[in-house]
Amino acid sequence: MNNKLLAGFGRADVTPCMGINLAGYYQIRLADGVLDPLQTDALALAVGNKKVLLVSVDHCGLLVKDVTAIKAAITEKTGVPSNSIIISSTHTHTGPDTAVDHKGELERDYFKFLTAKMVDACTFALNDLKPAVMGWKVGNAPNIAFVRRFRMKDGYVRTNPGVGNPDIAHPLGDVDERVNVLRFDREGGDTIVLMNFGNHPDVVGGNKISADWPGLARTKIEAFLPGVKGMFFNGAEGDVNHVNVNAKDGDWNDLANDFDDVARGYGHANHMANVLVGAVLQVYDKVNYIDVDRLDSIEKVIDVPANKGTPEEMPLAHKYFDLYKAGRQDEIPFKGMELTTVVAEAQRMVELENHDDFFKMPIMAVAIGNVGIATMPGEGFTWMGRELKKEEGWDLVLPMANANGSECYFPTEDAYIEGGYEARSCPLKQGNAEFITEECAKLLRALR
């Protein structure tokens, strides 16, 4: 045996006070209750003098500049350098909005609270370091992730066209039902289970705080396996969600159509958590234990071209965006998800009108023995995750979306040609998904 790994776990409650604005939709939603608490979890890993922190937080998505500030606070407290810290948002759509530059006092105060709590979780994890062995395996979570982009019979492409829509011709893309599982068995401490699966946590809806199915899965795995701590890191999930457009009979249990033609319900989030936990239990006792004699990380900032509007497009973009800001969406001639799409597209053009020609995007790779992690600072399409998982020489690769930033969707080139919400709202030019994927792959290769 040549195992040198230490592992530690830390957790803090990051549930906000009521009245805070919730992230995830193009409308104001002020929190008026709590269905389940929000958490931040930290996994500290060490081999010799090298330490890495993997931090998961129940949040829709932290901007790069906010992640940078949080990382600086963690580094100041713990000494772990920024390029050895991954901060990944689970992407729950029933958590606070902390884009603090243009939010109110409540949101700004919450961001300070969130930062302090994430520092606490990392400190707890480092103080909890114990000798550990790591195992890995891949489970399967069927029928909870579905393609959400469709070609319609009129040739148009729609995102979330609604359950049973007779105008659907066929889906665009496919799903990845694989669940990556890492298990850390520690001497004198709880076992830590890390779950990595790509799908949208936008199942609950409404105005009540919830960690959605990722949080419910953590709670369930810990209840089912005493002495286990669960963590969740989202994978490439930009073009999939929980909506089965062919739902029938029992598929409709605990679901109801929401304002944007998306069927949602807390009971369905609970169902998804059950399936995810089932995927973990499929492999929990049969993981492949491997020696970890090295721990490494590498980070790079890449320039990705901005997707600005043309002079001809700007007048209508300003009109729609001004109506949206004034709360007069009913004057925009679209409904449901199509309304969301045109508003998002207009916002993209207006906000980029005086923007730099490039976005600076941080990407990162981590090696835990022969298990690799690749991060993307936004919502990668399923294709990106599949490609990174193919990288040769690794026992397992975990793609992590909304990690070290959450700037936008990363649609594939095909999606730009096809159209739909993700591509039309994306502030990055066509080709960004392929470019970011290759740059992440290069980092993984550099760690081989």
Domain range annotation of the chain: 6-299+359-447, 309-354
Per the CB < 8 A criterion, the answer to whether 69 and 115 are in contact is yes
CB burial of 130-148 (b: ≥16 within 10 Å; e: otherwise) equals bebbbbbbbbebeebbbbb
Is residue 98 packed enough to be buried (19+ CB in 10 Å), middle (13-18) or exposed (0-12)? buried
Distance CA 259, CA 246 (A): 19
Element of type H or E holding 342: helix 336-352
pLDDT for 127? 98
Residues 6+ apart with CB under 8 A from 194: 43, 54, 181, 182, 183, 184, 231, 232, 233
| Type of residue at 294 | R
Q: 405: which 2 tokens?
A: 């930033």
Closest CA to 22 of 56, 58, 68, 55: 58
Distance CA 75, CA 404 (A): 14
Closest CA to 388 of 256, 236, 239: 236
Per the CB < 8 A criterion, the answer to whether 40 and 166 are in contact is no
Q: Where are the alpha helices (DSSP H) in 128-255?
A: 212-224
Residues of the chain with pLDDT under 50: none
Neighbours of 16 (CB within 10 A): 21
pLDDT for 122? 98
Query: Could you report the per-residue pLDDT of 140-195, keeping only the tens digit for each?
Result: 999 999 999 999 999 999 999 999 999 999 999 999 999 999 999 999 999 999 99
> pTM of the predicted model, to two decimals?
0.94
pLDDT for 421? 87
Distance CA 317, CA 268 (A): 36
